[in-house]
Structure 1
Amino acid sequence: MAESDLTLTLTANLRPAALDGRRGIVRLHPEVLTALGLRPGDPVRLTGRRVTAGIAARADTGASTALLYADDLLLGNLGVRDGAQIAVAPLPVTGARRVTLTGPVEIVAAVSPEMLRLALLGKMVTAGDDVSLLPQDVLPDAAVRSLVAAARRSLANTVGYAWTSALLTVVDADPAGGALVTMDTVVGWEHGAATRGDTDAGAGRSAPGTRAGTPASGPGPVDGSDLTGGPEAAAGADPPSVDELPGLRAQARELTELLDLGFHHREVLDRLGTAVALGVLVTGPAGSGKAALVRAVAAAVRARVEVIWAPELAALTNDVAARRLREAATRVRTGGPAVLLVTDVEALVPAEQPGPLATVFRQVVAETVRAGGAIVATTGRPESVDPALRAPDLLPVQIAVPLPDTALRQEQLTVLTRRTPLAEDVRLDEVAGRTPGFVAADLAALVREAGVRAALRQKSAETPTVAMADFTAALEVVRPTSMAASTLELATVTLEDVGDLVEVKQTLTESVLWPLNYPDTFARLGVKPPRGVLLYGPPGCGKTYLVTALAGTGRANVLSVKGAELLSKWVGESERAVRELFRRAREAAPTLVFLDEVDALAPVRGQATDGGTTDRVVAALLTELDGVEDLRNVVVVGATNRPDLVDPALLRPGRLERLVYVPPPDAAGRVEILQAAARQVPLADDVDLAGVAESLDGFSAADCAALVREAALAAMRESMTAATVTGAHLATARGRVRPSLDPAQVAWLAAYAEQHAPG
């Protein structure tokens, strides 16, 4: 786009769209875009107290032609506040040749220049600006959106959740007056490493379906940093020792023996008339230290490591990617013992529709292994890797990195805090017990967050320490990577907060909490714990609330899904969703998998008219529950109002073997529910909850809670300064809230429960 003299002055409005926050995007009315000769995705020059640049986008319906909609970061770069006057003008599309940044020490240490460049792709940068690591999200192309999702996962695994709020400063940019970051841009840290220019890569291309060079890939490698698996290999950091990798020593020993034999004892193999293939596939959850394991072992056997991040390679043109791959393999085959480490290999050789680059990769692996070189590929999603890659002449050896249990998490926390001054009240065993599903990268993020909390408390202290309260506060914001897509936000409730249902709570404690909290006791007694439970009862009687309370009591991760959400009209997609659900459950163990409305997910087979979709889903569900792959430290809880519609095969022992009836509350139960619902409600002295409960025949637990809520609203209608809820307010609410229980349904469920009662 040519230089333009067009300039409009608009009023800044701090109201960014949800996908724009801290991404350098400004929203303009369509008429303003037309007046400036702009299209969505074009760069613009913005002038306030400072001059900066951004990407123009179309504002929502109803926007004002006089306003420029931006976020706090962009207004900060302009040096203005909400309501200030901003001059807006078109800006030519110029690719940045070089960008140098600085930022928090922990971000600089964990984020490689390659990852940094990918996080900045498609953003306009100006010398002196602050920028975030949040990648561009306004991407119409589905393939590009999936790459951005991968970018988020990679940064979360490497840096922890601090990546979403971290700000970096552009120390220097060429040109300095606002340019677009592309794959040609040399990006680096101040006084640190930088990327090399990729002018031969065909990069600087815009991603498909985007303008102005929005990102074609996500940020860099997941593993490789000390215990946490971050990418400091690219930054020149020393590799960790095997002793610094608790929980991976058995895997390290196996890999060490293989590489040592192949690199230093070939003569023994020759005398035996055999050979060793140094092709290895390392699998394990993202952030668990797979690349750190490889680098530690390579250092132990005195071998160099050449690192390739597969998603970055896959983002290049096929010719350039193939050339880079062959160059890296050539360096590995010459100049002494060396290992080619390919992280996130599923991006190069996907299980579905592998492209030409997959063929080149398999050929390079075969040539390198045949020549005596070593190739180690890592993946967090082994089911997404082309099975052909595990052929005897490619990557025949597979090493699995497990999710750490409580004892291993305590060891990892000990390593991560070895240079951290801890207060006397810190108990790492308790922290380890409160972090189910956390991998090494998550624990590193937790320690960093606790350190930040401690620093904020003790800015002037000469000998600051990290206290247990800092870890507790950090646990509120740091979530395990494996739970990033969980659909259930846990409330701070436990079984003690559930009114009534004494027998139900005891049964659930035995069937759900004991297997999650005391797996060694079951092992010691030589029995397998119950695999699952089916909760059934009338609507509104607290089945979902019970599951939430179970999760709060047992400190377990919860994966929640409604039955219908897993069903898809596309053949194979529903079964894939079931497999993915249970894969995530295994990675995040101990996990409680909650299948709400399970009758929609697993109806009686042979009766559906959906072309067999639900029949295949039932088969997939049965396979996951008691298939060949062990479902360790995972308990499944189903909930339904119609237990007769659930396939009987799902209810036999070894599956959802315990059927637990959640009855409607009786008078005494209604009193407890009313008391629990009114715990935070100031009641007047004339309120008699026991008397109210007697009159609530046919009310479910949800109805009782609604009654208390309606009484509080009645008090507010009477006076917004009301201090208490009186008996009159409850009487008013009683006239508004009606019982929802169907007597016929309750009677049928009670008969079903009596028929299926144990004994």
Structure 2
Amino acid sequence: MAQPDLTLTASLRPAALDARRGIVRLHPEAFTALALRPGDPVRLAGRRVTAGVAVPAEPTASAALLYADDLMLGNLGVRDGGQVTVSPLPVTAARRVVLAGPAQIAAVVSPEMLRLALLGKVVTTGDDVSLLPQDVLPDASVRSLVEAARRSLSNSVGYAWTSSLLTVVDAEPGSSLVTMDTLVGWEHGPATHGSGGTAGGARPGASGPAGLGRAEFGAGSGNGGGPRAGGPTDVTAPGRPGAREDGGRAEAEAAPSVDELPGLRAQAEQLTELLDLGFHHREVLGRLGTAVSLGVLVAGPAGSGKAALVRAVAAQVGARVCPLWAPEVAALTNQAAADRLRAAATEAQAGTGPAVLLVTDVEALAPADESGPVATVFRQVVAEALRAGLAVVCTTGRPEALDPALSGPDLLSLRISVPLPDAALRREQLTVLTRQVPLAEDVRLDEVAGRTPGFVAADLAALVREAGVRAALRQKAAETPTVAMADFAAALEVVRPTTMAASTLELAAVTLDDVGGLTEVKQTLTESVLWPLTYPDTFARLGVQPPRGVLLYGPPGCGKTYLVTALAGSGRANVLSVKGAELLSKWVGESERAVRELFRRAREAAPTLVFLDEVDALAPVRGQATDGGTTDRVVAALLTELDGVETLRNVVVVGATNRPDLVDPALLRPGRLERLVYVPPPDGPARAEILRAAARDVPLAPEVDLAALGAELDGFSAADCAALVREAALAAMRESLTATTVTAAHVATARSRVRPSLDPAQVAWLAAYAEKRAG
């Protein structure tokens, strides 16, 4: 039976969310005539034949028009007003799609990210496609994964990712739909490794003992407790057969493959090209009259897979790996350390074939602050090894602590950065780590990835192991045990991220919906904080920079810190929290260094929310301090980080203070903490909401009227209301330790003990300040 078709007139008028996403809009009558449903693929024939996803236009649209964007019209080869024939297209899943694009895009966008950007799109060989993810998805269970990919693309490529175009150079004959099972790759480059698994993250049919995840990425650092005593922070593949964890002194018998390192393929490609050229094609360099230096510095968070990356690439190019753990050598005497370094280089040169001298945690041998005789010998050994044809690859988790002289042109001339994984990359890593783990049907790896901000691959490996242990304890007698979502939830309570342990704000189980009252404040925070972190491509599409920061100010105890905690729970972003005074140091230069380090980690962990509590102590008005200029220099460092030459992308700063007049005015101008949000003391209804939230788990007697109580508590802050509920429960305990309810008498007793803490003069001054700012 022939497929029905319609000939319509193309109209260049796409909806804002359709632009460059492979969507066309048709009148509802066209859907009826073609027997289509919303989201069905359609065949489109103009000068060229292509395909798209059909979505209904508004009822007031013309039934004779096909609404499309410029990318779709370009693929059709027609202009605005041209004729296009539309017909239904049977859904065919694409088995393989190969794309070509700008070199700078292919270098940073992994095949996994590429597949998520194309997910739900119908592609045809020769078409141009964009990286903007499809919003009209056939399977709603992958929406969170695509949202994570959206943020990852923004982090990797910057704002240019929304306008970059790629070309489909190879796909199925005709047109086909990209799914999570489609093999997607770059032309002459890497591709996804087999099936992407089910959309929800569960892998039916996976076999293997519970809890035996393959930690191919990096260190098995336990339950987030940091590096093992006597071993490096980046040992390859604990739990892999033949791998030995002996402080880096012996090479694992089996190295991981590059395909087992999702998120590191661009770095692996860069390192592979260098080592292959230096080991196997030196004659080409000789004919060109040049040479190549095989000194490489791999920088990235501890446990992110730096050593695993080097071993995988070395195995791919056929080179031996001779490991050396720098802290072990640095612990020796100067003479013994020098002898150990020279012996390691001699041992690497003594074997047959190409070799890589792998030095992990190199900052221990060449620290930036005190370059001693061992550092001098180390630089000499590295230079001699490179001249002898060896490759010297050093890894570090603290590049700022490394002697800059080691990055000279004749030493470690190439630097490769391994970023902290975002939610989408954590999802890919969890897929590999659970490859041998039988997962229950309720497991959603994308949800696990969303709940693990700040986790590196080693932390995820520890999480999988802990979930396996919980599953084993729960199913000791089961013949076919499985790891359930509850096991991952239990493991998340004990496994902590190692990379952000010093200053990570633990995500509480609250969101802005749990905050009583403050409707305008919550709306402002949603627009200024959550939107830039969640929808960076929308800001890029509209051609505006998102707000850089927000300053919350108001009386003490009115919920400024609680609002930030709720933001952290709502946004699923990495959260760095510091008190203003924590960054100040009496040593010259240390405070500025602490500020730079804070924002460096925020950039690596983007999307990130940086919370600066008591910001008036950190950034007071310049020129008035009596501390020798320390705070003035800190303010200058903050201004540079917030609005300097180096871009602060996908990072939002939230400050909190009770004294906004003491904050340096330069910090409050547009481009910095540009939105000042007044958090007022709660009124009667808001106090009642706060009391209800505080008494959620308190067994109140029926006669306790929280609405009436809230109306009586003039001058009470949010903290005072919570203290009142707590004191009422203590009054019940004083009366009887077997008490089961808190009565109105107990509340009255607490009312006589808890006094309002708000200062009317301060509240009036802050309200006047807010009115002045608004005016």
TM-score, length-normalised on structure 2?
0.69
Match of 1:546 in 2: 563
Q: Is 630-639 or 500-509 further displaced after alignment?
A: 630-639
Tell me if structure 2 keeps the 8 A contact 1:307–1:340.
yes
Tell me if structure 1 keeps the 8 A contact 2:615–2:657.
yes
1:161 maps onto 2:223 in alignment = yes
Match of 1:19 in 2: none
Q: Deviations over 1:182-206 (max 9, x none)?
A: xxxxxxxxxxxxxxxxxxxxxxxxx
Q: Matched residues in 2 for 1:739 and 1:516: separation?
A: 37
Q: Is the alpha carbon distance of 1:706 and 1:631 closer, same or farther for their aligned partners in structure 2, counting shifts above 3 Å?
A: same
Q: Deviations over 1:631-684 (max 9, x none)?
A: 333321111010011011111222111111000011111111111111111222
Q: Is the alpha carbon distance of 1:109 and 1:513 closer, same or farther for their aligned partners in structure 2, counting shifts above 3 Å?
A: closer
1:706 to 715, 723, 728: 723
1:297 maps onto 2:313 in alignment = yes
1:387 to 404, 412, 415: 404
SS of structure 1 residue aligned to 2:487: helix
Q: Matched residues in 1 for 2:289 and 2:432: separation?
A: 43
Match of 2:281 in 1: 265
2:553 to 536, 539, 551: 536
Task: Map residues 78-93 of structure 1 onto 2, 5 A cutoff.
Answer: none
Q: Deviations over 1:677-706 (max 9, x none)?
A: 111112222222222222211111111111
Q: Is the alpha carbon distance of 1:158 and 1:417 closer, same or farther for their aligned partners in structure 2, counting shifts above 3 Å?
A: same
1:337 maps onto 2:349 in alignment = no
> Per-residue deviation at 1:502?
1.4
Q: Deviations over 1:244-267 (max 9, x none)?
A: 111111111111111111111111
Q: Deviations over 1:576-598 (max 9, x none)?
A: 22222223333443332211110
Q: Matched residues in 2 for 1:106 and 1:493: separation?
A: 30
Q: Gaps (5+ residues) in structure 2?
A: 1-208
Match of 1:652 in 2: 669
SS of structure 2 residue aligned to 1:280: strand
SS of structure 2 residue aligned to 1:528: coil
Supply the AA of the counterpart residue of 1:221. Answer: P
Match of 1:219 in 2: 230
Task: Map residues 89-488 of structure 1 onto 2, 5 A cutoff.
Answer: 157-161=219-223, 218-226=229-237, 234=250, 236-334=252-350, 335-486=352-503, 488=505
> Per-residue deviation at 1:717?
2.3
Q: Is the alpha carbon distance of 1:715 and 1:599 closer, same or farther for their aligned partners in structure 2, counting shifts above 3 Å?
A: same
Q: Matched residues in 2 for 1:633 and 1:540: separation?
A: 30
Supply the AA of the counterpart residue of 1:439. Answer: V
Q: Matched residues in 2 for 1:431 and 1:518: separation?
A: 21
Match of 1:75 in 2: none
> Per-residue deviation at 1:418?
1.1
SS of structure 2 residue aligned to 1:159: coil
Q: Deviations over 1:290-322 (max 9, x none)?
A: 111111111111111110010011011111111
Q: Is 382-391 or 690-699 further displaced after alignment?
A: 690-699
Q: Is 317-326 or 391-400 further displaced after alignment?
A: 317-326
Q: Matched residues in 2 for 1:490 and 1:261: separation?
A: 47
What is the root-mean-square deviation of aligned Cα atoms in Å?
2.7
> Per-residue deviation at 1:373?
1.6
Tell me if structure 1 keeps the 8 A contact 2:210–2:483.
no
Match of 1:506 in 2: 523
Match of 1:566 in 2: 583
1:723 maps onto 2:734 in alignment = no
Q: Matched residues in 1 for 2:752 and 2:213: separation?
A: 63
Supply the AA of the counterpart residue of 1:310. Answer: A
Supply the AA of the counterpart residue of 1:236. Answer: A
Q: Is the alpha carbon distance of 1:248 and 1:110 closer, same or farther for their aligned partners in structure 2, counting shifts above 3 Å?
A: closer
Q: Matched residues in 2 for 1:446 and 1:275: separation?
A: 45
Tell me if structure 2 keeps the 8 A contact 1:227–1:440.
no
1:594 to 604, 608, 611: 611
Q: Matched residues in 1 for 2:295 and 2:379: separation?
A: 11
Match of 1:212 in 2: none
Supply the AA of the counterpart residue of 2:418. Answer: V
Q: Matched residues in 1 for 2:224 and 2:637: separation?
A: 37
Higher relative contact order (CA 8 A, sep 6+): 2
Tell me if structure 2 keeps the 8 A contact 1:707–1:737.
yes
Tell me if structure 2 keeps the 8 A contact 1:558–1:592.
yes
Match of 2:95 in 1: none
> Per-residue deviation at 1:235?
5.9
SS of structure 1 residue aligned to 2:284: helix
1:610 to 600, 605, 627: 627
Q: Matched residues in 1 for 2:542 and 2:215: separation?
A: 45
SS of structure 1 residue aligned to 2:640: helix
1:518 maps onto 2:545 in alignment = no
Supply the AA of the counterpart residue of 2:234. Answer: D
Tell me if structure 1 keeps the 8 A contact 2:212–2:468.
no
Q: Deviations over 1:321-376 (max 9, x none)?
A: 11121122123334321010101100000000111000001111111112222101
1:687 to 682, 699, 704: 704
Match of 1:585 in 2: 602
SS of structure 1 residue aligned to 2:298: strand
> Per-residue deviation at 1:227?
9.7
Q: Is the alpha carbon distance of 1:227 and 1:261 closer, same or farther for their aligned partners in structure 2, counting shifts above 3 Å?
A: farther
Q: Is the alpha carbon distance of 1:395 and 1:502 closer, same or farther for their aligned partners in structure 2, counting shifts above 3 Å?
A: same
> Per-residue deviation at 1:548?
1.5
Q: Matched residues in 1 for 2:378 and 2:507: separation?
A: 44
Tell me if structure 1 keeps the 8 A contact 2:213–2:461.
no
Q: Gaps (5+ residues) in structure 1?
A: 1-103, 112-153, 167-216
1:662 maps onto 2:673 in alignment = no
> How many pairs are equivalent?
561
Q: Is the alpha carbon distance of 1:492 and 1:106 closer, same or farther for their aligned partners in structure 2, counting shifts above 3 Å?
A: closer
Tell me if structure 1 keeps the 8 A contact 2:642–2:672.
yes
Q: Is 416-425 or 231-240 further displaced after alignment?
A: 231-240
Tell me if structure 1 keeps the 8 A contact 2:236–2:252.
no
Tell me if structure 2 keeps the 8 A contact 1:482–1:587.
no
Match of 1:734 in 2: 751
Supply the AA of the counterpart residue of 1:158. Answer: G
> Per-residue deviation at 1:728?
2.2
Tell me if structure 2 keeps the 8 A contact 1:674–1:705.
yes
Tell me if structure 2 keeps the 8 A contact 1:221–1:231.
no
Match of 1:53 in 2: none
Q: Matched residues in 2 for 1:720 and 1:652: separation?
A: 55
Q: Is the alpha carbon distance of 1:453 and 1:633 closer, same or farther for their aligned partners in structure 2, counting shifts above 3 Å?
A: farther
Q: Is the alpha carbon distance of 1:668 and 1:454 closer, same or farther for their aligned partners in structure 2, counting shifts above 3 Å?
A: same
Aligned-residue identity in percent: 81
Q: Is the alpha carbon distance of 1:158 and 1:598 closer, same or farther for their aligned partners in structure 2, counting shifts above 3 Å?
A: same
Match of 1:66 in 2: none
Q: Matched residues in 2 for 1:475 and 1:626: separation?
A: 36
Q: Matched residues in 2 for 1:106 and 1:278: separation?
A: 39
SS of structure 1 residue aligned to 2:220: helix
Q: Matched residues in 2 for 1:706 and 1:661: separation?
A: 23
